[in-house]
């Protein structure tokens, strides 16, 4: 029989010794048996499989031809000191091979450890001649075929390589991502910060290796981190440190990640309120250092999507802290500051919406709607001023016509006649936030007119509503134009380590200042790594928000989109769920059709 190389079948078909159709992401054999396909062998295993047995046979054959005794007899011919090589025995190699599993990047290997060197026969006390006089089949010299890989350390390396510490424009910085790596490096070994980071890293690593999410290893580390943080909070010296605030933000991130895979978390948001309590406890110490100022800005940025999604007002009691000029000096932080006011207007509107109005209070009810519309128009002006204030070419989108984009990108997901690209994924994410928050501002105006239709008797108000509807369509178009930039042509799960195979749109333009062509995104390799790891996480909530506005789960007024656009958005949401294995998010309870 001709050997065609290692089997590419899924693990279930290999165990059953049947032919596998190798369908991605799971084979049809498992589908017909109503089983979850365990997936396919990692190409890393085949490319880097152990060659120790082959080497042993070659050495044994060479020794036999020279008249030496076979190696299986337990003796070998002494060789010069310069040719000293230690190779594992056949028994130890076979044992390790049986214990090896797929996805070596993340799996915590389960094969038994090789016996360590004894104290009296340690490496320092063994001369080359003595080594070769020993029996290689003896347990004292049994060596593994490879170094045992530490799954936790590998997960941390992968996480920080793809999700932490990427150099970006300081004006786009609004989260705690940039501080994560240095704070982790400075934290004690068993600190709550390190334990929480390990829990997040293992979750991300196991997700990309299709090993599940919120599994026992990650949940165990998370529980340990919570216990350690609880002890720190009872310590007056630790309860107000940057480290404990950073840890609470990581706890919140862990919950947010879990929501994408198991939408059953009923108490989501508790860590956000915990971070607010720590900020309130710290007072003006929040501005003592650049790191402290970055952390308080990160807390606000983390809290805003939660408040806007659940129509809650941003707490006013902390305005003296969040309005401080030292944390509102970047483009991203100014956008967040505007969004604080947006959350309060939206909350007031829905409080008014739920109130019953009698004829006695009709005029008061109408006046309150007029006031809300006026304030929403003011927020819209702030957002337009924010957009006009951006003159840096590195912050402006570049548009690419459909004809200049690869066919694979168009086939994966391309809406309209053009797409846009940015110099950096973080800059693109900031523009996505701008679009969705502008959309929520316009929705306040539209909802007010629905709740108080008597306002539309005024021709000026009808013109305002018509203009608002047109801008809603423009904003949704701008969000759809960002999809190729965030996802490229990928349609199946792809580990970010292999993101160089993903094609993304790019744009070249002539720089009159330097006389050279410049590329957007500025670095293809960096953007591939960023978008392959995080593009879906950035895009998914914004597409879901548009879907929610178009098909609300309550009696909110729906936005009206161009024919076929909502169906295209639904397809892209499903595409993201296929790539990143997302489930239906808990904050988007779509009504059954």
> In this structure, is residue 580 part of a structural domain?
yes
> In this structure, is residue 164 part of a structural domain?
no
> In this structure, is residue 209 part of a structural domain?
yes
Q: Give me the residues paired with residue 508 across strands.
A: 519
Which own/partner pairs from 232-236 qualify as long-range (CB within 8 Å, at least 24 positions apart)? 232/192
Residue 325 and residue 387 share a domain: no
Q: What pLDDT shows up at residue 42?
A: 66
Quick one: how far is CA 77 from the chain centroid? 56
Q: What is d(CA 55, CA 58) in angstroms, rounded to the nearest whole number?
A: 5
Residue 401 and residue 305 share a domain: no
> In this structure, is residue 579 part of a structural domain?
yes
> In this structure, is residue 187 part of a structural domain?
yes
pLDDT (tens place) for every residue of the chain, 593 residues total: 566 667 778 888 988 888 898 888 788 888 888 888 888 876 555 555 666 777 777 777 777 765 544 444 444 444 433 333 333 333 333 333 333 333 333 333 233 333 333 333 333 333 333 333 334 344 444 555 555 567 888 999 999 988 875 556 677 777 788 889 999 999 998 899 999 999 999 999 998 988 888 889 999 999 999 999 999 999 888 888 999 999 999 999 999 888 888 766 567 888 999 999 999 999 988 999 999 999 999 999 999 999 999 899 999 998 999 999 989 889 999 999 999 999 999 999 999 998 866 666 778 889 999 999 999 999 999 999 999 999 998 899 999 999 999 999 999 999 999 999 999 899 999 999 999 999 999 999 999 999 999 999 999 999 999 999 999 999 999 999 999 999 999 999 999 999 999 999 998 887 777 778 888 887 777 889 989 999 999 999 999 999 999 999 889 999 999 999 999 999 999 999 999 989 876 555 444 33
3-state SS, 417-429, equals CEEEECCCHHHHH
Residue 289 and residue 396 share a domain: no
| End-of-domain residue from the set 329, 351, 384 | 329
Residue 312 and residue 376 share a domain: no
Residue 483 and residue 378 share a domain: yes
Residue 303 and residue 230 share a domain: yes
Quote the tokens at residue 578.
């296929």
Residue 265 and residue 404 share a domain: no
For 179, the domain range is 170-329
> In this structure, is residue 64 part of a structural domain?
no
| End-of-domain residue from the set 273, 304, 329 | 329
> In this structure, is residue 400 part of a structural domain?
yes
Residue 531 and residue 408 share a domain: yes
Q: Which residues contact 177 (CB under 8 A, 6 or more apart)?
A: 163, 164, 165, 166
Residue 325 and residue 383 share a domain: no
- Domain tally for the chain? 2
Residue 378 and residue 287 share a domain: no
Q: State the DSSP code for 531.
A: I
Neighbours of 577 (CB within 10 A): 15
Residue 506 and residue 413 share a domain: yes
> In this structure, is residue 140 part of a structural domain?
no
Residue 392 and residue 301 share a domain: no
Q: What pLDDT shows up at residue 364?
A: 87
Q: What pLDDT shows up at residue 91?
A: 37
| End-of-domain residue from the set 311, 329, 347 | 329
Q: Are 105 and 154 in contact (CB under 8 A)?
A: yes
């Amino acid at each position: 029989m001709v050997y065609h190389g290692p089997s590419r079948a899924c693990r279930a078909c290999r165990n059953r010794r049947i032919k596998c159709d190798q369908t991605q992401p799971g084979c049809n054999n498992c589908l017909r048996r109503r089983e979850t396909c365990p997936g396919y062998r990692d190409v890393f295993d085949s490319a880097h499989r152990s060659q120790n047995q082959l080497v042993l046979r070659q050495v044994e054959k060479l020794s036999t031809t020279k008249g030496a005794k076979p190696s299986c007899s337990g003796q070998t011919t002494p060789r010069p000191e310069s040719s000293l090589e230690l190779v594992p025995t056949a028994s130890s190699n076979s044992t390790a091979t049986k214990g090896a599993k797929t996805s070596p990047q993340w799996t915590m290997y389960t094969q038994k450890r090789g016996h360590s060197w004894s104290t009296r026969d340690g490496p320092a006390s063994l001369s080359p001649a003595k080594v070769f006089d020993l029996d290689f089949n003896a347990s004292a010299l049994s060596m593994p075929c490879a170094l045992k890989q530490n799954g936790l350390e590998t997960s941390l390396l992968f996480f920080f390589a793809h999700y932490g510490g990427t150099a970006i424009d300081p004006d786009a910085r609004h989260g705690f991502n940039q501080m994560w790596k240095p704070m982790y490096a400075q934290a004690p070994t068993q600190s709550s910060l390190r334990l929480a980071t390990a829990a997040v890293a293992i979750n991300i690593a196991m997700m990309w290796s299709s090993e599940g999410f919120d599994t026992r290893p990650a949940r165990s580390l998370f529980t340990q981190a919570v216990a350690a943080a609880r002890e720190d909070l009872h310590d007056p010296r630790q309860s107000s440190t940057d480290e404990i605030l950073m840890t609470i933000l990581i706890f919140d991130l862990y919950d947010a990640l879990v929501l994408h895979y198991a939408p059953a978390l009923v108490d989501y948001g508790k860590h956000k309120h915990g971070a607010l309590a720590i900020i309130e406890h710290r007072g003006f110490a929040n501005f003592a250092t650049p790191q402290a100022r970055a952390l308080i800005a990160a807390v606000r940025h983390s809290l805003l999507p939660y408040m806007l999604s659940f129509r809650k007002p941003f707490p006013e009691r902390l305005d003296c802290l969040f309005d401080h000029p030292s944390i509102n000096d970047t483009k991203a932080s100014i956008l967040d500051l505007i969004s604080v006011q947006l959350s309060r207007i939206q909350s007031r509107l829905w409080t008014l919406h739920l109130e019953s109005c009698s004829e006695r209070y009709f005029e008061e009810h109408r006046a309150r709607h007029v006031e809300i519309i006026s304030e929403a128009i003011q927020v819209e002006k702030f957002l337009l001023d924010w957009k006009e204030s951006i003159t840096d070419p590195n912050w402006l989108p570049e548009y690419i016509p459909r004809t200049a984009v690869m066919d694979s990108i168009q086939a994966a997901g391309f809406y309209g006649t053009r797409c846009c690209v940015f110099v950096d994924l973080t800059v693109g994410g900031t523009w996505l936030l701008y679009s969705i928050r502008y959309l929520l501002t316009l929705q306040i105006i539209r909802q007010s007119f629905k709740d108080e239709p008597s306002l539309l008797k005024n021709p000026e108000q009808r013109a305002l509503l018509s203009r608002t509807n047109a801008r809603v369509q423009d904003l949704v178009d701008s969000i759809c134009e960002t999809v190729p930039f965030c996802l490229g042509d990928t349609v199946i799960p792809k580990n970010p380590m292999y993101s160089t195979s993903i094609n993304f749109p790019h744009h070249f333009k002539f720089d009159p200042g330097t006389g050279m062509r410049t590329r957007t995104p500025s670095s293809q390799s960096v953007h591939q790594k960023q978008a392959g790891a995080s593009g879906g996480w950035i895009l998914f909530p914004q597409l879901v928000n548009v879907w929610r506005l178009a098909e609300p789960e309550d009696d909110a007024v729906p936005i009206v989109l161009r024919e076929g656009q909502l169906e295209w958005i639904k397809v892209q949401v499903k595409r993201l769920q296929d790539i990143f294995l997302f489930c239906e998010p808990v904050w988007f309870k779509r009504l059954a059709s």
